[in-house]
Amino acid sequence: MIRHTTCLALGLLWVTSCLMAEPLPGFSVQDLVRMDRVSDPQPSPDGESIAFVRRQTEMEADKGRTDIWVIDSTGENLRQVTDREASDSGPRWSADGGSLYFLSSRSGSSQVWRVGADGENLTQITDLPLDINGFLLSPDGTNLVLAMDVFVDCESLECTRDKLDARETAKATGRIYDRLFVRHWDTWKDGRRSHLYLQPLGGGTVVDLMPGMDADSPAKPFGGTEEVVFTPDGSGLVFTARVVGASEPWSTDFDLYHVPVNGSSAPRCLTESNEAWDTQPVFSPDGKILAYLAMERPGFEADRFRIVLLDWTTEKQRILTEAWDYSAGGILFSKDGDTVYTTASDRGQVSLFSISLGSGTIRKLVGEGHVRSPALAGDSIVFGLDTLGSPVDLFVLEPQSGELRQLTRVNAERLAGVALGQAEQFSFPGWNGETVYGYVVKPVNFDPSLSYPVAFLIHGGPQGSFGNDFHYRWNPQTYAGAGYAAVMVDFHGSVGYGQAFTDSIRGDWGGKPLEDLQKGLAAALKNNSWMDGDRVCALGASYGGYMINWIAGNWPERFRCLVNHDGTLDQRMMYFSTEELWFPEWEHGGPFWENPEGHEKHNPVLFVDQWQSPMLVIHGALDFRLPETQGLAAFTALQRRGIASRLLYFPDENHWVLRPSNSILWHDTVLDWLDRWLREDG
């Protein structure tokens, strides 16, 4: 069969759009879950090789498996370094670049292993009674720092192991709690803390570097080794921890601590004067400056991260990015130490920037797509990059010349066999006439003479964004592949448009965002006459799910159907049942009893009497951020009012849907719901 192919440019990446006698099948959830995922690029000390993690989906086992791969910085000689049923992750190069340390569960527990860069000479380095959750290698290669969950009152790892074993064999299963964080994200807390331990590579005693600290480092549940750094001479460690006692569920007061690795003194707080978030410490190449990220407002998780420079000798501070209205996503020093590189959300993109330490000049280096995990490879920068049309691959940038080279194409064969929808960004005057941005993704094999139904996707956060990236839970290509147009709007409250834009949602969850969504959908329909404005379904998760419930009572006649995943129905009970209290207290003006009007002002449950649109409700039992009773309550209201509705309940998923089989069921159920209400014969 002869196929005529036209390649369309999409920013820095290519997407193949085929004009052919037999159109390619549209991108589906089966394609989505089978995509290989690339992460954690780690250049070798000489910058000649890049190690990274590659996740491949094992459909029969219903899980993803990760292995360590290496590729030359020229893009040649791609090779797999580890290949076992157990997952391997977190590669870190030895000081001489001859081998890689990594985490693996191949021994039955998570331990540190070492393998030659050629895949030979596999050696188990640690054999401890507890799982290791993360590790760092000291600059001189003599010590490891290990993150493990321990009982703070235990003086040895064996003590923690014994307590855990005793719990497993005890007949009584009850647990007693004296303060909050009874559960967090998707885990019931058991009293353990993540502490950092020093392990000499040559053997010796494992030493707790946080003795007696009632705190986690890295932070739970999503913190990693980016929150910990060795001093350049390897004599000390700087780490992030929140030491606030019983106020932990309503505090964002993370601080930086310094501790000598020889245990000669206790950890010392470096950022005590700032009661907001301090994190991600990085030393300059000469060791004279400690750079880190800092927020300014306590209790606010989406405040702007500024880059702070701390003189390591005098401890004088300078804020490098005070005048920059973007939130820095990390810190990477140039080889000469005169420049830092960082990422930031940027009007639907996550861009890469350079910032001069001397002049403060900021330059955008990569401005299209989503830049992830930049790392220094000699004078070059290696990073992951994805768009709405392509999953993450590795790229190398030459900062001076701007030359950009693609290193990997791990999903090229899979992408060549499916059709993708073309993505276009648009803007419109939103609330108060302010410019708001969004994206339209056209259906696959698009024909402008046809009329297409619309999936209107609403992002969560609410301080988030549906931008130019390849999402594994809310990917508009799965709707485009099923013949729908996808529309996404970054309403007021979204990130990447300046801090005032992000702040504007506080106390106004159902106000400005709803107006932006209304105007954004109207603009998309006006500018794309091929969209059928009478056949539209709105879908959202988390805050997006809240907005679905809000729309049901405050924009009740607009949509033929709704999809509510993990959405809040009742703000009152949400406050009293969620775990991270700083979030509703900031968003709605304090604890419920201090400001009930703030919580009730935009409470969807007050408008259930106006509901009329068919709704699919989805919830996970392990979602402790937004407890399952919120979804069950919405379904109860729908059923009691006689509104067409369906409940999809996952007993083994949290705020997200992670297992491949569950992801397939999720997408199939959602698309079946859209087909039922949006197709011409529906």
Q: What is the pLDDT of residues 97-150, one digit of tens each?
A: 999 999 999 999 999 999 999 999 999 999 999 999 999 999 999 999 999 999
Please name the residues in contact with 85: beta carbons below 8 A apart, sequence gap of 6 or more.
65, 106
- What's residue 22's pLDDT? 82
The conformation of residue 661, written as its DSSP 8-state character, comes to: H
- What's residue 681's pLDDT? 55
> Helix 512-527 and helix 543-554: axis angle, to 10°?
80
- What's residue 328's pLDDT? 98
Q: Is the dihedral of CA 316, 247, 213, 221 positive or negative?
A: negative
Residue for token digits 């790392």? 375
Asked if residue 667 lies in contact with residue 27, where contact means CB atoms within 8 angstroms, the answer is no
DSSP code per residue over 566-590: S--S-HHHHHHH-S-THHHHHHHTS
Q: Which residues of the chain have pLDDT under 70?
A: 1-21, 680-682
- Cα gap 594→388, rounded to integer Å: 43
46: left (phi over 0), alpha (psi -120 to 50) or beta: alpha
pLDDT digits (tens, 9 = 90+) for 12-49: 444 444 444 589 999 999 999 999 999 999 999 999 99
Tokens for 557, please give them.
């006649």
HEC secondary structure over 437-502: EEEEECCCCCCCCCCEEEEEEECCCCCCCCCCCCCCCCCHHHHHCCCCEEEEEECCCCCCCCHHHH
| DSSP H or E segment with residue 91 | strand 88-93
- What's residue 13's pLDDT? 43
Cα Rg for the chain, rounded, in angstroms?
25
- What's residue 555's pLDDT? 98
pLDDT digits (tens, 9 = 90+) for 544-558: 999 999 999 999 999
Tokens for 656, please give them.
């997200």
Tokens for 484, please give them.
């729908």
Asked if residue 385 lies in contact with residue 374, where contact means CB atoms within 8 angstroms, the answer is no
Measure the CA dihedral 468/474/478/484, to 10°.
-80
- What's residue 84's pLDDT? 78
Length of the chain: 682
- Cα gap 114→92, rounded to integer Å: 9
**Strands laid side by side in the 192-200 sheet:** 134-137, 143-151, 192-200, 207-208
Report in angstroms the alpha-carbon separations of 270 from 147, 148, 216, 254.
21, 23, 17, 11
Whole-model pTM?
A: 0.95
**Amino acid (1-letter code) at residue 183:** R
